[in-house]
Structure 1
Amino acid sequence: MKKLDLYIIRKFLGTFFYAIALLAVIIIIFDISEKIDDFLERKPPLEAIIFQYYANFIPYFINLFSALFTFIAVIFFTSKLAANTEIVAILNSGVSFRRMLRPYLISSLFLALMSFGLTNFVIPETSKNMQEFQKKYLKSQRKANMNNIHMQISPGVFAYVESFDMKNKSGYRFSLEGYHEGGMDYKLSSDYLRWDSITGMWKIENWVKRQIQESGEIITRGQQFDTLLNLRPEDFAVDVDDAIYMNYRELRDFIDAEKMRGSGNLMKFQIEKHKRIAFPFATIVLTLIGVSLSSRKVRGGIGFNLGVGITICFAFILFMQVTTVFATFGNLPPVVAVWIPNFIFGLLGIYLLRVAPK
């Protein structure tokens, strides 16, 4: 049985990594053709292009397509086994269908753990290296200005800025409000604020402060003062794409901080956190479906099985996108939105296993 297990594992993983390698080459060729003008203009060293950019670029795309190519690999090589009557021979030798699934599950578990490690630990680090290269040699795509930003920077303290310029690290029409259980304590309004990177303080200019006390309201004004706030310029430019630079622990801590601030992007970050566990698990679900579909010898051969399998795989991806939209813009909890495709297609996989030829 060890020979059979090793045979299936070698076929499974060999097909997967061969397909992923071909995909990586194709992606790199298209990316080079897209960025060739920037490379010629900025003239980055060849070593930086290879080792700082593309060496860190490949893990992200390998992980992005890992579930799809796991499914395709299972469909492809299992269909070949069925077409060559190898599965019939395996079952006729006394090996049960359930026992034959063991090397498939071992391989899919290995790929799921690989995807989990890439998503939560490797890709955040490689993405930081790639970002440094992009900042230095490629044109930045990051927004320079943000508008109408409102957040809670500490319990009971809310900050608002009408417009913030990331390039100059300055904001316009800034206000800071403090509350307690009885209502508002104070409100600070200013026309302009600017970050001082040397002192780590904010310069508040042309300000008015209203302090509400039991004896009445006290209004003070001034031209400029420096202050410490639980706020940095990067906090005004929070984007869900920034999650790629965080490992799982950093993302979890970031979500806790964003909950306190009342971030409008909180739901998207929560979806990203749950995806980092659910997406690797999808590898196992799709493997079960793939084995069930392709273990039967059909008249259409490998092409028919691949067509049906790819249709199911894209249906899975589409369903995950739909449930994600419901979580982002509706009331569906993020954990349900991310895991419900695995649950439904897992039931489909169990049904297909029951009706598969044994």
Structure 2
Amino acid sequence: MFTIIDRYIIKKYLGTFSFMLILLSIVVLVIDIQQKIPRIENAKLLDPKLDLAYFLMHFYPFWIINLVMTFLSILVFISVIYFTSRMANNTEIVAVISSGASFHRFAKPYLFTSLFIASLSLVVNHFVLPWANIKKNELEAYTYNAANKEKVLGTAPVSAQLSKTEYIFVNSWNKRERRGSGFIFQKFDKNRKLMYELKANDVYWDKDKKQFVLNSYFEKTTNKDDSQKLNNGFELRKSYGHAPEELFPNELLGQNKTTPELIKFIKREKEKGNSNLNAHLNELYQRTSMPVSIVILTFLALSLSSQKRRGGLGINLAVGISLAFIFVFSFEALKVVSENKSMSPALAMWFPNMIFLPLALFLYLKRANQ
């Protein structure tokens, strides 16, 4: 099935990729820890258990998984450029082609290895990474600066649309403590007439019974004959079908869900009438587009680095790193464009692949015909 040359290239591919992966993880981990130590020390003031050792055990392993999956295609791209350039400089590629093998045959182990990594990446992106993100996102806010930490853990107004006729508003909701003040629930009929309103001074989430507890509440029900029924009391428990994180989702919520869960969540939000879903749709489409880019970038790297040229390894790495920067920057820029509703999420997350695929195909065929 695989010849000696195939096994040699696969070993080179996986060996270089593994080395790059480990090197990136160690370097970035050390830099990130040094940068975030003051914020971790501040987190310890809020909760004594949140020391550096706790973060090393419960945050950084999952943070590394997220980091690796974010830059996986770029790591593959640079790895292929590096070891293929070395093979070209050592005239190993010339020797293989001179033995009678076509360039297409030489590229076979590149195809199989990139498909293997892409398939593994697909499984991790759709099912393993969300689990890692749950662990990571529980603590990540503590590593932010004061302003961004307040956005995630602090107090702010929130609202939710339960259906096309039901709405929740909380004037001041603390995400960390899961409690707030100024609660309002409103239900309208099909003619947008207010039929029921529930107000409460204070509200908090009972995680054991999975209910909202409303204190000092006031109810107003409007009957069909326009008469009104009023009711009030000290405490009222209500279940609105979901936890606060689901009712008042932030952009990180989509990262925490496996793909089947994310699809259900997006469908439910669309049925409720929520049109602000582009951040979650970006997450959904990127989980597939990024693994596909591994195969595309593998052949682009092969085409760029399989020929001996003046400047050798240095010029190939310079070109590779430049293209890698463009690729990553385009993804991040298109996310912002999509979230601003200037481009559909599907097009935004697949657009870099749509640009790089013809380029990779053109350069590969040009190299194969030389």
Normalised by the length of structure 2, the TM-score is 0.85
| Aligned pair partner of 1:303 in 289, 310, 314 | 314
CA contact (8 A) 1:186 1:212 kept: yes
Instruction: Report 1:173-252 matches (<5 A).
Output: 173-184=182-193, 186-195=195-204, 197=206, 199=209, 200-213=211-224, 215-230=225-240, 231-235=242-246, 237-252=248-263
Aligned counterparts of 1:18 and 1:269: Cα–Cα separation in 2 = 33
Displacement of 1:204 in angstroms is 4.9
Equivalenced residues, count: 356
Paired position in structure 1 for 2:68: 62
Q: Secondary structure at the match of 1:113?
A: helix
The question of 1:323 aligning with 2:334 is answered yes
CA contact (8 A) 2:41 2:51 kept: no
Q: Secondary structure at the match of 1:305?
A: helix
Paired position in structure 1 for 2:171: 162
| Aligned pair partner of 2:360 in 336, 349, 356 | 349
Paired position in structure 1 for 2:181: 172
Aligned counterparts of 2:137 and 2:249: Cα–Cα separation in 1 = 16
Segments of 5+ residues of structure 2 without an aligned counterpart are none
Aligned counterparts of 2:123 and 2:287: Cα–Cα separation in 1 = 9
Q: Secondary structure at the match of 1:186?
A: strand
Q: 1:354 is matched by which residue type in structure 2?
A: L
Change in Cα spacing, 1:210 to 1:331, as seen in structure 2 (3 Å) is: farther
Change in Cα spacing, 1:131 to 1:167, as seen in structure 2 (3 Å) is: closer
Segments of 5+ residues of structure 1 without an aligned counterpart are none
Paired position in structure 1 for 2:118: 112
Instruction: Report 1:280-295 matches (<5 A).
Output: 280-295=291-306
Q: 2:155 is matched by which residue type in structure 1?
A: N
Paired position in structure 2 for 1:258: 269
Change in Cα spacing, 1:72 to 1:50, as seen in structure 2 (3 Å) is: same
CA contact (8 A) 2:178 2:204 kept: yes
The question of 1:151 aligning with 2:160 is answered yes
Change in Cα spacing, 1:111 to 1:29, as seen in structure 2 (3 Å) is: same
Change in Cα spacing, 1:177 to 1:338, as seen in structure 2 (3 Å) is: same
Instruction: Report 1:33-52 matches (<5 A).
Output: 33-37=34-38, 38=40, 42=48, 51-52=57-58
Paired position in structure 2 for 1:122: 128
Q: Secondary structure at the match of 1:240?
A: coil
Paired position in structure 2 for 1:30: 31
Q: Deviations over 1:74-121 (max 9, x none)?
A: 111111111111111111111111111111111111211222222222
> After alignment, is 30-39 or 319-328 more displaced?
30-39
Change in Cα spacing, 1:86 to 1:167, as seen in structure 2 (3 Å) is: closer
Aligned counterparts of 1:307 and 1:2: Cα–Cα separation in 2 = 32
Q: Secondary structure at the match of 2:309?
A: coil
Change in Cα spacing, 1:150 to 1:46, as seen in structure 2 (3 Å) is: closer
CA contact (8 A) 1:172 1:191 kept: yes
Q: 1:302 is matched by which residue type in structure 2?
A: L
Q: Deviations over 1:22-46 (max 9, x none)?
A: 1111122123323445469647799
The question of 1:71 aligning with 2:77 is answered yes
| Aligned pair partner of 2:97 in 85, 88, 91 | 91
> After alignment, is 134-143 or 34-43 more displaced?
134-143
Displacement of 1:163 in angstroms is 2.3
CA contact (8 A) 2:182 2:199 kept: yes
CA contact (8 A) 2:164 2:273 kept: no
Normalised by the length of structure 1, the TM-score is 0.88
Change in Cα spacing, 1:150 to 1:334, as seen in structure 2 (3 Å) is: same
CA contact (8 A) 1:152 1:158 kept: yes
CA contact (8 A) 2:121 2:291 kept: yes
Aligned counterparts of 1:44 and 1:325: Cα–Cα separation in 2 = 33
Q: Deviations over 1:284-311 (max 9, x none)?
A: 1111111111112111111111111222
Q: 2:332 is matched by which residue type in structure 1?
A: Q
Cα RMSD, aligned residues only: 3.0
Displacement of 1:273 in angstroms is 0.6
> After alignment, is 7-16 or 308-317 more displaced?
308-317
Sequence identity percentage: 28
Aligned counterparts of 2:213 and 2:85: Cα–Cα separation in 1 = 65
Aligned counterparts of 2:322 and 2:174: Cα–Cα separation in 1 = 46
Q: Secondary structure at the match of 2:203?
A: strand
Aligned counterparts of 1:52 and 1:129: Cα–Cα separation in 2 = 7
